Amino acid sequence: MWVEPGRLWYVMGPSAAGKDSVLAYVRQQLPAAAGVVFAHRYITRAADAGGENHIALSSEEFRQRQASGCFALCWQRNGLDYALGVEVQSWLAHGLDVVVNGSRAALPQAQLVFPSLQPLWITASAEVRAARLAARGRETPQQIAARLREADAYQPPPGCIVLQNDGALEQAGQRLLTLLLA
């Protein structure tokens, strides 16, 4: 029996735009019968480093899985390796919509791997992002300034849905929930 492939919701945006928070909110609100799943990322970062729920891998484990064909998409960012597993392709083939926290720099590669990709850009004002980065306590003021400058070089790509996340989490979360349920 043929099943219509699902859509890949490829979430991007600058650091501290609140992507992880919006995704976590939507995950809690989304009905189980919605046919939407959230893919975890494989990252060479400690499991307790904060932020998103991810699969922590050592560099050696990452390279072994990459060489073995376990990843559908890989990229590097901020000195870390990231990947989406081949399970994402299987879920799409079974008609599920899949939400992934992607990378704006890896978007062109992702569009080749996932033909059903719908880009989604979550952003916030520079002032809000600066305050969020400072509150994380992971970077120096100079590193924060560099991240903000770098983010200004990226703009949402054509065909991208943009969600502003300056206000209450529920506002951006409800908008994304509406998109996923449409």
- Residue 73 within a domain: yes
The whole-number pLDDT of residue 10 equals: 97
108 CB-near residues (< 8 Å, 6+ apart): none
- In angstroms, rounded to a whole number, what is the distance separating the alpha carbons of residues 166 and 171? 9
pTM of the predicted protein model: 0.89
> Could you report the per-residue pLDDT of 41-77, keeping only the tens digit for each?
999 987 676 666 789 999 999 999 999 999 999 999 8
3-class secondary structure, 107: helix
The whole-number pLDDT of residue 158 equals: 86
The whole-number pLDDT of residue 47 equals: 67
- Residue 84 within a domain: yes
- Residue 1 within a domain: no
Domain count along the chain: 1
- Residue 2 within a domain: no
Answer for the pair 31, 179: CB distance below 8 angstroms, yes or no. no
- In angstroms, rounded to a whole number, what is the distance separating the alpha carbons of residues 19 and 25? 10
- Residue 169 within a domain: yes
The whole-number pLDDT of residue 51 equals: 63
- Residue 160 within a domain: yes
- Residue 3 within a domain: no
The whole-number pLDDT of residue 151 equals: 84
Domain that holds residue 34: 8-181
> Could you report the per-residue pLDDT of 14-30, keeping only the tens digit for each?
988 999 999 999 999 99
- Residue 74 within a domain: yes
**Other beta carbons within 10 Å of 7:** 18
CATH number at residue 121: 3.40.50.300
Pairing of strands 42-43, 80-85: antiparallel
The whole-number pLDDT of residue 147 equals: 86
175 CB-near residues (< 8 Å, 6+ apart): 163
Beta bridge partners of 71: 85
- Element holding 158 (H helix, E strand): none
Answer for the pair 125, 34: CB distance below 8 angstroms, yes or no. no
